[in-house]
A and B are shown apart, each in its own frame.
Chain A
Amino acid sequence: MSNLKLVFVAAAALSVAAPALAGESPFGYVYTTDTHPRGKREVEQWLTRRHAQSRGDYDLWQARTEFEYGITDRLQTALYLNYDHVSASHNRADGTTGPGAFVPDAADPDARYSRTLFQSFSSEWIYRPFSPYKDPIGLALYIEPTWGPDQRELETKLILQKNFLDDRLVWAANFTAAAEKERFHGEWEHEGELELTTGLAYQIAPRWHAGVEYRHHRGYAGRGFSADKRVYAASFLGPSVHYAARRWWITATFLTQLANAKAYTDEARADIVGGRFYGEHHERSELRVKVGFEF
């Protein structure tokens, strides 16, 4: 095991060894408006497996280790450590290995490429003006700057939540806009992303939620979100399950890409196979598992 992997294992294990809740979501991708009460702390470990591109083998494991803290009953902050592992072999539509967002241009097109790397730090802030438990609809505002050696990003979200049936049925939706700067070949390139995620979860038994999530993702080249800067649009759909114990919880969501992707540039069109988009870190399916511990 490499030193880098050892560091990841140690960081992740230490982060979760503390006793274990709040701010938890029955969804893997969709944020709810729940925030921690003042002074409450939580550690979350995320792991997302992004599996299969147009051909060959492709697995991207994305991990996030997060520390959350309730500053007030309405304001929550969090610090994330983001790290990844990619393994790719002949994954591109033309039968070569890479390149892509996680496989560099220098990778041998005829060989398997594997790498574990630190990606970035993120600082998350969520303010909740309206609670779904006391107001007609819950509303929260989210902002998350990210910094990494080859990446800068500012992500903003509008989070809505409405509960039904004595809070047993939870609906939430997120509208996300992100401005991103990534370094390719030593040059910084600007990109933008718009995303709608929405989900519905029902408490099927004490501690257990089962639900469904939908994600629609659009990519833009350069700064701004005008129609002439559109590059692609892709959608994902799948089930989620959530279990909450007294001081910890776990959520798993499996999303599969729908065969309705759209491309707006020649380069993006080449990345659509069977109606699915495989460029710009998009895969056939995603499995996300999140574990949260309160302390």
Chain B
Amino acid sequence: MSARWPAFIAAPLAISVPAAHATVYLSVEQAQQAIFPGAKFSPLDIPRRERVWRASPGGWFILDEVLGKHELITYAVGIDAQGRVRGVEILEYRESHGGEVRDANWREQFTGKSAADPLQLDRDIRNISGATLSCRHITDGLKRLLKLYENELRQR
């Protein structure tokens, strides 16, 4: 190595890079059955990025993605016939931090919420330290999906 290139610049090359990977926790069908057990689902063709299914006993199942810190989080919400959240499921989570949003107690906070609720972190939704971005983006996403129900699905 010449005098102009110090030896320590090679240090980062010694890094063994851990591989990144996505963790799939639930398929769409599994998430549908977790929120509406025994129900049948028919897809709704709407010109939006969200995918929407009508549940046979009444209600809606919506699949969506939000950004975590760096990667997309795939999640779904079940909304009952009265426009209230029946359940929230995390289908895919791809990041090293913030996976606590899969915790059932955290997701349970959304049950019964409607478009009339604030859905705001540290107001009616508890934050998880170290997972703030994931908590906020999922909370914002669910608020958007409840407005989608209110504006486009309720009258169908």
Contact = CB atoms under 8 A, between A and B. Distances in A.
Contacts of A289: 12
B142 to A, nearest CB: 14
Contacts, number: 116
Interface of B: 1, 3-4, 6-12, 14-21, 66-67, 69-72, 94-97, 121-122, 127, 129-130, 132-133, 136-137, 140
Contact of A8 (B4, B11, B71, B96): B11
Interface in A155-196: 166-168
Nearest to A293: B15
Contact of A246 (B16, B95, B133): B95
Interface size class of A (residues with CB under 8 A): 35 or more
A271 interface: no
Interface in A221-276: 244-248
Given A87-B4, A167-B67, A167-B137, A16 B9 contact: no
A63 interface: yes
A13 to B, nearest CB: 4
A114 B4 contact: yes
Nearest to A19: B18
Interface in A1-59: 1, 5-6, 8-9, 12-13, 16-17, 19-22, 37-38, 40, 45, 47, 57, 59
Given A9-B11, A167-B137, A246-B19, 10 more contacts: A5-B8, A13-B11, A16-B14, A21-B97, A63-B8, A85-B6, A134-B136, A166-B140, A246-B20, A246-B94
23 contacts: A1-B1, A12-B11, A13-B11, A17-B16, A19-B18, A38-B130, A61-B6, A83-B8, A85-B8, A87-B4, A114-B3, A114-B4, A166-B137, A167-B67, A203-B67, A244-B69, A248-B17, A248-B18, A289-B12, A291-B12, A291-B15, A293-B15, A294-B96
Interface in A210-224: none
Contacts of B67: 166-168, 203, 206
Nearest to B6: A85
A16 B21 CA distance: 21
Interface string A78-92: 000001010100000
A291 B18 CA distance: 13
A96 interface: no
A106 to B, nearest CB: 18
A167 B47 CA distance: 25
Please give me the 3 A-B residue pairs with the lowest Cβ-Cβ distance, nearest first: A37-B130, A12-B11, A85-B6
Contacts of B72: 206
Contacts of A59: 4
Contact of B7 (A1, A87, A203, A247): A1
Contacts of B6: 5, 8, 61, 85, 116
B51 to A, nearest CB: 19
Contact of A21 (B9, B96, B136): B96
A73 interface: yes
A20 B18 contact: yes
Nearest to B11: A12
B71 A207 contact: yes
A19 B18 CA distance: 7
Contacts of A116: 6-8
A83 B9 CA distance: 11
Contacts of B133: 133, 167
A123 interface: no
A45 B3 contact: no
A285 interface: no
Nearest to A15: B11
Nearest to A131: B132
A246 B18 contact: yes
A9 B8 contact: yes
